[in-house]
């Protein structure tokens, strides 16, 4: 495959007038997007309660402005002119710019395929559906959700027809979250994973929370504040806040913000959110460090690759023995817990515990993937017209029994648990499992090339070899490759769930040795 | 004078198509301005250190966008059409809309009188001047500041010539901060004030800090958080943060944010900043509550009136005996101080102490006004061409001797202390003293009409009669009146410094009785 050289240099721009002009317009759009992120971050973190409605108008106005600039005729023509100019002049970086225009026009052409009416109907319907879903979930009445969810499925199918696809309708929607990925490929990947996970699920063990007391939030925060810096996310370009749902967002190339949430009874909840969101943020930092941006190539590859970065730091690194040998004393000291109150083995077993449960966001490393595969199978059939919305609870419950061996006592703990479908985000779920698969494959490759990493972590709190490897092999590539090509270039082989399975098996063996030791 | 009826209703808009159209455009500009305020607030409070440069670009882009929309041909023509339409159709609110267009075109025409070159040269020069001033102040070398300050004075005079004036050059600049005010009028107002303050200065007394220990910031913050709510600024529409320089800003009609700063040795520093900024915020809330906005009339009258609102809560209310009889027990409890450690009389004397000092921002209630009059006299002569920049230190020092009786040991504690002139803000200073004058006059009128206020404060922590009076007589008027007309309508007489002097005299007598009691 072609070696990618980061040829986003400025020097070339003097010779490419139209290219330079198009890049100025792109820069402006990018800056406006960052301003929008400031508004959104502020809405989640600092906005006074009654300011919400007017903030909605501010976000609406700015979103509209960005859309009219990005999807408008002017920008399109400017970009076409720049693309033609690049075709005509043989100058260094010509091929890279060609890819840049491919990515740009993929996105522009895609959004232009939807009619204004469909976009608006989709937006209005999903906005109504949110409160319908909230209420239906609260009252455990799936039937109340059926009419509007059916409408969303219908509109999503219409979207898919507008976008176009080769093999199946679902692929057109998957493309929004995982460009280049196909359901047929996911089916193979997930089939292997599902079969391999089955025996592991049975070997998993539920471990009770070992914390001896509730830990006040200010102490949990003090502990959490230490983490991003240790991993390589400098406080000079980032900050940590608390929010209802943890998230990570980029407000500028040197302004990456993450959030966590605190559980008085379980400080690990906050720690693992911070590890996860720091992973996302480090990826965004790495992308911002690519010279010559912003551009359509200065972007993440896909949600799956983005999730691979968060999962890598959260699970591959954050649940490893060497990480906790390093972090355990820090945790005891800052949280003011004595060693005899919280033994290392108990803590480590708890961190890596697994047992089938009902709720995806609370699931462990092993069963999480099955939760995702279940959703993928269901939403694929739904969009491809093989099943109906009204039948979802039955299908959901029988798949839960089949995959995880558990009975679903109520729809609110079952088919109604997640927000995604009410927002029309069909094709989103599989990216979570892809993130797990990619992360294990990337980390295994890294470890082979860096056998000293675990010692560096344990003895020197030094994660730099990993961060540098990720920067070099993932972050610095921007959106130049597809997810599959990127994984191939970084690991030398196709995406393959066996690395994840091997990791989980090794983990089980490690835990079993603790329990029997 | 004409009674102002708040006729900004929507109902009329159906009949005034151009008016409605112009108001939509105005609403958009206003929303973009609020977004700009979000960016600026975030820059001061939450932005990571290294994000500053890119935030500058975001603010630059958005400011440019706002300017091009507001000062552009399209909006001007739209507003002209709406103004003509209003002239032609006799409908309820016609006169109010006439005032609205007067205010709008005053502002639009004024900004159009400056050439693009002059605006840019002014902006570049003052931006350079800031760092020159910082360095000159640090190194105590006024001579280093002379060339660029001379250039700023020169550019300011050119601005004044473009704006135009009747009597003297300075008036044209004063107009930017205190519309309708004239230097000749200020001269009279300040002449009386200066003469009356002279004997009071000599009766003032320096009181040492009575706090028995340093107070940690989290306790000061806990105390400070109680204040805005007590005064009537709901936490549902506001928030309090810490910043280097305290400020107040409006990010939306229900999103008013204030900041304070903490001094470990003196918790009053933070309390009085909060009182001051809450006053500004309450004014902004009151303006936002006027129906039918935003519009050019949904705005503050002038910087002097804005400052009158902050000073009223800070000084007239916040340094009063009844306020402290109410707040003293709260302060002792939250700051964990025993009564014997911090006696009420000592605290109250400290709160109201006065003695001549070098630095304006640290000055007491009495001498503060003299600091301002000094600056007004100097900048007026400077802009009117009667004195030269190079002579400023000598003039400054001799005026300090004459007005406050003290010697200025160095220019950094003298003529170099304030940032304003380096930014070209000639005409800004007098609004601080106007704020003090207006606040005393407003509060005296209020007290006459509400004799129970002091009991309500002392016994019920109830400030609602004052807030309601201010809403009715000041806030709800928006920018319908000039400052002088507003003061006349609220108090029944012309702006007059005698109310401030009476207040300060009474305060001195009160303190003298404590000291001799």
- In the prediction, which pLDDT does A1 show? 44
**Residues of A taking part in catalysis:** 277
Neighbouring C-beta atoms of residue A120, cutoff 10 Å: 11
Put simply, the answer to whether B54 touches A252 (Cβ < 8 Å) is yes
**Cα–Cα distance between A394 and A408 in angstroms, integer?**
10
B513 Cβ under 8 Å from any chain A Cβ: no
B38 has a pLDDT exceeding 60: yes
User: Which residue intervals of A140-182 are DSSP H helices?
Assistant: 142-163, 169-174
B64 Cβ under 8 Å from any chain A Cβ: no
Q: Which residues of chain A, if any, have pLDDT below 50?
A: 1
Per the document, the length of chain A is: 517
Residue A307 marked as a ligand binder: yes
Q: Is A383 exposed, middle or buried (0-12, 13-18, 19+ CB in 10 A)?
A: buried
B235 Cβ under 8 Å from any chain A Cβ: yes
Q: Which residues of A touch B48 (CB under 8 A)?
A: 235-239, 254-257
Question: Which candidate from B35, B45, B239 shows the least CB-CB separation from A48?
Answer: B239
User: Which residue intervals of A258-300 are DSSP H helices?
Assistant: 267-288
**Cα–Cα distance between A362 and A377 in angstroms, integer?**
20
Q: Is B76 exposed, middle or buried (0-12, 13-18, 19+ CB in 10 A)?
A: middle
Residue with tokens 């077993």: A349
pTM of the complete model: 0.94
How far the first Cα of chain A sits from its last, in Å, is 48
Shortest distance between the Cα of B69 and any Cα of chain A, in A, equals 13
Shortest distance between the Cα of B239 and any Cα of chain A, in A, equals 7
Residue A341 marked as a ligand binder: no
Residue B306 marked as a ligand binder: no
Put simply, the answer to whether B255 touches A47 (Cβ < 8 Å) is yes
Q: Which residues of B touch A38 (CB under 8 A)?
A: 38-39, 42, 58
Question: Which candidate from A38, A57, A235 shows the least CB-CB separation from B39?
Answer: A38
The neighbouring-strand residues paired with A260 are A242
More confident residue, B314 or A4: B314
Shortest distance between the Cα of B276 and any Cα of chain A, in A, equals 20
| Contact assessment for residue B43 and residue B54, using Cβ atoms and an 8 Å cutoff | no
B252: nearest Cα among B234, B239, B237 = B237
Read off the DSSP letter of residue A211: -
More confident residue, A254 or B8: A254
- In the prediction, which pLDDT does A12 show? 77
Residue with tokens 């009874």: A265
DSSP assignment of B351-403, as one string?
Answer: HT-----S-GGG--HHHHHHHHHHHHHHHHHHHTTSS-GGGHHHHHHHHHHHH
**Cα–Cα distance between B150 and B382 in angstroms, integer?**
10
A252 Cβ under 8 Å from any chain B Cβ: yes
| Contact assessment for residue B201 and residue B356, using Cβ atoms and an 8 Å cutoff | yes
Query: Among residues 215-234 of chain A, which lie with CB inside 8 Å of chain B?
Result: 234
Three state DSSP letters for A30-48: HHHHHHHHHHHHHHHHCCC
Question: pLDDT tens across A399-418, in order?
Answer: 999 999 999 999 999 999 99
Q: Where are the beta strands (DSSP E) in A333-407?
A: none
For chain A, the domains span 1-112, 217-357+432-481
The neighbouring-strand residues paired with A241 are A259
B385: left (phi over 0), alpha (psi -120 to 50) or beta: left
- Using DSSP's 3-state secondary structure scheme, residue A255 falls into strand
- In the prediction, which pLDDT does B284 show? 98
Q: pLDDT-based confidence at B8, cuts 50/70/90?
A: low
Put simply, the answer to whether A34 touches B58 (Cβ < 8 Å) is yes
| Contact assessment for residue A284 and residue B48, using Cβ atoms and an 8 Å cutoff | no
**Cα–Cα distance between A215 and A335 in angstroms, integer?**
7
Put simply, the answer to whether B50 touches A251 (Cβ < 8 Å) is no
Shortest distance between the Cα of B168 and any Cα of chain A, in A, equals 43
Q: Which residues of A touch B56 (CB under 8 A)?
A: none
Specify the CATH architecture of the domain B217-357+432-481: Orthogonal Bundle (1.10)
Q: Which residues of B touch A39 (CB under 8 A)?
A: 35, 38
- In the prediction, which pLDDT does A9 show? 65
- Using DSSP's 3-state secondary structure scheme, residue B249 falls into strand
Mutation target for B interface from A251, A281, A289: give the one with most B CBs within 10 A: A251
The H or E element containing residue A487 is: helix A483-491
- What residues have CB less than 8 Å from A382, skipping those under 6 apart? A153, A388, A389, A392, A426
Question: pLDDT tens across B177-220, in order?
Answer: 999 999 999 999 999 999 999 999 999 999 999 999 999 999 99
CA dihedral A269, A271, A274, A276 (to 10 degrees): -70
B91 Cβ under 8 Å from any chain A Cβ: no
Question: Which candidate from A35, A234, A256 shows the least CB-CB separation from B35?
Answer: A35
A59 Cβ under 8 Å from any chain B Cβ: no
Tokens for B296, please give them: 């050019």
Computed on alpha carbons and rounded to an integer, the radius of gyration of chain B in Å comes to 23
Put simply, the answer to whether A50 touches B251 (Cβ < 8 Å) is no
Buried (b) or exposed (e) across A357-376, using 16+ Cβ within 10 A? bbebeebbbbbbbbbbbbbb
B320: nearest Cα among B510, B102, B38 = B510
Put simply, the answer to whether A48 touches B236 (Cβ < 8 Å) is yes
A193: nearest Cα among A354, A368, A360 = A368
The neighbouring-strand residues paired with A239 are A257
B503: nearest Cα among B449, B460, B423, B445 = B445
B53 Cβ under 8 Å from any chain A Cβ: yes
Put simply, the answer to whether A252 touches B55 (Cβ < 8 Å) is yes
Tokens for A252, please give them: 């500028």
B517 has a pLDDT exceeding 70: no
Question: Which candidate from A31, A38, A251 shows the least CB-CB separation from B61?
Answer: A31
B393 has a pLDDT exceeding 50: yes
Shortest distance between the Cα of A319 and any Cα of chain B, in A, equals 29
Question: pLDDT tens across B89-126, in order?
Answer: 999 999 999 999 999 999 999 988 999 899 999 999 99
Query: Among residues 301-330 of chain A, which lie with CB inside 8 Å of chain B?
Result: none
- In the prediction, which pLDDT does A516 show? 72
Helices then strands, counting H and E runs in chain A, come out as: 20, 3
Sheet arrangement for strand A238-242: A238-242, A255-260, A248-252
Tokens for A105, please give them: 């026009």
B333 has a pLDDT exceeding 90: yes
Put simply, the answer to whether A237 touches B53 (Cβ < 8 Å) is no
Buried (b) or exposed (e) across A159-171, using 16+ Cβ within 10 A? bbeebebeebbbb
Put simply, the answer to whether A35 touches B31 (Cβ < 8 Å) is no
- In the prediction, which pLDDT does B330 show? 98
| Contact assessment for residue A208 and residue A191, using Cβ atoms and an 8 Å cutoff | no
A491: nearest Cα among A421, A428, A423, A437 = A437
- Using DSSP's 3-state secondary structure scheme, residue B410 falls into coil
B118 Cβ under 8 Å from any chain A Cβ: no
Read off the DSSP letter of residue A225: H
Mutation target for B interface from A25, A58, A235, A294: give the one with most B CBs within 10 A: A58
- Using DSSP's 3-state secondary structure scheme, residue A132 falls into helix
B1 has a pLDDT exceeding 50: no
Mean pLDDT value of segment B363-374: 97
Question: Which candidate from B35, B234, B254 shows the least CB-CB separation from A39?
Answer: B35
Q: pLDDT-based confidence at B515, cuts 50/70/90?
A: confident
Q: Is B99 exposed, middle or buried (0-12, 13-18, 19+ CB in 10 A)?
A: middle
Residue of B96, B181, B277, B379 marked active site: B277
The CA-atom distances, in angstroms, between B252 and each of A55, B25, B30, B257, B288 are 8, 17, 9, 10, 8
| Contact assessment for residue A48 and residue B236, using Cβ atoms and an 8 Å cutoff | yes
**Cα–Cα distance between A324 and A328 in angstroms, integer?**
5
Q: Which residues of B touch A55 (CB under 8 A)?
A: 252, 255
Please provide the average confidence, as pLDDT, over all residues in chain B. Answer: 95
- Using DSSP's 3-state secondary structure scheme, residue A109 falls into helix
Put simply, the answer to whether B236 touches A53 (Cβ < 8 Å) is no
Express as a percent the part of chain B with pLDDT over 90.
95
SS3 content of chain A, % helix, strand, coil (to 5): 70, 5, 30
């Amino acid at each position: 495959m072609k070696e990618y050289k980061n040829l986003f240099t400025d020097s070339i721009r003097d010779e490419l007038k139209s290219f330079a002009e198009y890049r100025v317009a792109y820069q402006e759009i990018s800056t406006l997007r960052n301003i929008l992120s400031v508004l959104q971050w502020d809405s989640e973190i600092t906005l006074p309660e009654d300011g919400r409605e007017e903030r909605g108008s501010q976000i609406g106005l700015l979103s509209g402005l960005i859309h009219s600039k990005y999807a408008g005729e002017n920008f399109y023509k400017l970009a076409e002119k720049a693309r033609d100019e690049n075709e005509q002049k043989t100058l260094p970086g010509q091929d890279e710019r060609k890819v840049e225009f491919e990515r740009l026009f993929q996105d522009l052409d895609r959004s232009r395929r939807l009619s204004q009416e469909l976009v608006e109907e989709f937006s209005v319907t999903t906005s109504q559906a949110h409160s319908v879903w909230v209420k239906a979930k609260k009252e455990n009445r799936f039937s109340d959700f059926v009419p509007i969810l059916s409408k969303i499925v219908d509109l999503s199918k219409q979207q898919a027809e507008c976008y176009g696809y080769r093999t199946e309708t679902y692929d057109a929607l998957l493309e929004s979250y995982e460009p280049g990925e196909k359901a047929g490929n996911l089916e193979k990947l997930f089939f292997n994973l599902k079969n391999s996970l089955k025996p592991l699920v049975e070997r998993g063990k539920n471990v009770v929370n070992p914390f001896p007391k509730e830990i006040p939030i200010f102490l949990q925060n003090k502990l959490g504040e230490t983490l991003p810096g240790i991993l390589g996310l400098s406080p000079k370009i980032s900050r940590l806040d608390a929010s209802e749902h943890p998230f990570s967002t980029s407000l500028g190339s040197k302004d990456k913000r993450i959030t966590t949430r605190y559980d008085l009874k379980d400080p690990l909840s906050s720690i693992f959110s911070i590890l996860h969101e720091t992973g996302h943020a480090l990826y965004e930092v790495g992308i911002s460090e690519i010279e010559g941006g912003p551009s359509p190539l200065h972007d993440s590859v896909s949600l799956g690759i983005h999730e691979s970065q968060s999962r890598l730091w959260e699970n591959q690194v954050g649940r490893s023995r060497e990480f906790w040998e390093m972090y355990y004393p820090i945790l005891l000291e800052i949280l003011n817990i004595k060693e005899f109150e919280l033994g290392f083995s108990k803590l480590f077993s708890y961190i890596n515990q697994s047992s089938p449960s009902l709720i995806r966001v609370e699931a462990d490393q092993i069963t999480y993937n099955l939760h995702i595969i279940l959703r993928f199978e269901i939403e694929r059939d739904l969009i491809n017209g093989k099943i109906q919305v009204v039948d979802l609870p039955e299908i959901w419950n029988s798949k839960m029994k089949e995959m995880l061996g558990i009975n679903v006592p109520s729809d609110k703990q079952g088919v109604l648990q997640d927000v995604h479908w009410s927002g029309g985000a069909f094709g989103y779920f599989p990216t979570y499992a892809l993130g797990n698969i990619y992360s294990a494959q990337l980390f295994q490759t890294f470890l082979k090339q860096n056998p000293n990493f675990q010692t560096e972590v344990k003895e020197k709190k030094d994660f730099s070899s990993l961060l540098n490897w990720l920067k070099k092999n993932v972050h610095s590539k921007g959106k130049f490759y597809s997810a599959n090509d990127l994984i191939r270039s970084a690991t030398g082989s196709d995406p393959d769930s066996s690395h994840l399975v091997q990791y989980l098996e090794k983990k089980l063996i490690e835990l079993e040795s603790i329990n029997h030791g």
